[in-house]
Structure 1
Amino acid sequence: MSISEITQQLLAAKQSKGLSFADLEQIIHRDEVWIAALFYRQASASEEEAQKLTQALGLGKEIAEKLTEYPVKGNSSIVPTDPLIYRFYEIMQVYGMPIKEVIQEKFGDGIMSAIDFTLDIEKEEDPKGDRVKVIMSGKFLPYKKW
């Protein structure tokens, strides 16, 4: 996956300032996962959010302006090769249909919104090895009959 020039600049500035996405969450009052999505051009910021972020990172107005543009989302159609990202792809390959069946059994025929959606990542301490807890919450949208 190639990383855009803007993403590279944002990540370099974040690293040089010694900030985490959780630190940026406290500054611009958006979830750390949303901020990471903004860095990777999968979300767009308001002018105020872009200004706060670029100010915290010591970046210029031209980056702030780019962050307010509407992005092209999900812009890769190839199977991911990064091991961590591939695991999510693999999870959907193995559990996608079972997840779909359980959701439809509980809610009916429809989908989970990726627009009215939140995603949180938590670390669970475990003596056998720490665990990654991914929490997705999306509004259920039933298919319309006409």
Structure 2
Amino acid sequence: MTTTAEDRPLDKQQAGEIIDAIRRRRGATWAELSVLTGRPVVWLTSAVLGAHPVPEDVATTLRDELDLDAGLVEALTRQPTRTHDPALLADPTIYRFQELIQVYGPALKALIHEEFGDGIMSAINCSIDLRRGEHPGGDRVVLTIDGKFLPYDWVSAEA
């Protein structure tokens, strides 16, 4: 049996780009899809773009709303490979997040340690909210990251 390109599953990121194009052509917003699926908008957007596996019920809702084919739905539900793409850092918006962490990261780390002790804020067990904030000097991007604190727990190999 010969395997063809059509037999290979779509890459999650490629599928996400296709789904995003379909979403835009249909005039659907991420916020509307978030309400429809009952999932937080930042999580849903990230998942559709390839960073998370989408549960079957959410994939089915997206399939029905956006008229997605089986290959796109299958890509949504697969476990992603989470890797760093250096090309993303060239994007001005993504670069500014990196710049924010470069400037404020050490201060945030010090403040987390002062408040909670030796540990980290989880990026796995977190929620993220983004909203527009009105400001006299121009609208603001208000980003809230709510991450679980994970203390370092040094366990002896003998335990």
Gaps of 5+ in 2: 1-11
CA offsets per residue over residues 74-120 of structure 1, 9 Å max, x none?
43246701111110000111111110000010000001111110000
1:76 is matched with 85
Check the 8 A contact 1:42/1:74 in 2, yes or no: no
Q: How far, CA to CA, are the matches of 1:130 and 1:74 in structure 2?
A: 33
The Cα of 1:121 is off from its aligned counterpart by 0.2
C-alpha RMSD over aligned residues? 1.5
1:45 aligns with 2:64: no
2:6 is matched with none
Check the 8 A contact 1:123/1:130 in 2, yes or no: yes
Task: Count how many residue pairs are aligned between Structure 1 and Structure 2.
Answer: 144
Aligned amino acid, residue 125 of structure 1: E
1:91 aligned residue (91, 97, 100): 100
1:79/1:26 Cα in 2 relative to 1: closer, same or farther (>3 Å)? closer
1:31/1:79 Cα in 2 relative to 1: closer, same or farther (>3 Å)? closer
1:142 is matched with 151
1:117/1:16 Cα in 2 relative to 1: closer, same or farther (>3 Å)? same
Aligned amino acid, residue 128 of structure 1: G
Gaps of 5+ in 1: none
CA offsets per residue over residues 111-140 of structure 1, 9 Å max, x none?
111111000001101121000000000100
Q: How far, CA to CA, are the matches of 2:56 and 2:16 in structure 1?
A: 18
Check the 8 A contact 2:88/2:94 in 1, yes or no: no
Q: How far, CA to CA, are the matches of 2:38 and 2:32 in structure 1?
A: 10
Greater relative contact order: 1 or 2 (C-alpha under 8 angstroms, separation 6 or more)?
2
Report the secondary structure of 2:64's partner residue: helix
The Cα of 1:143 is off from its aligned counterpart by 0.3
1:13 aligns with 2:34: no
Report the secondary structure of 2:149's partner residue: strand
Check the 8 A contact 2:127/2:147 in 1, yes or no: yes
1:33 is matched with 42
The Cα of 1:5 is off from its aligned counterpart by 2.2
Q: How far, CA to CA, are the matches of 1:34 and 1:42 in structure 2?
A: 9
Q: How far, CA to CA, are the matches of 1:58 and 1:142 in structure 2?
A: 45
Aligned amino acid, residue 47 of structure 2: L
Q: 4+ runs of 1 displaced by more than 3 Å?
A: none
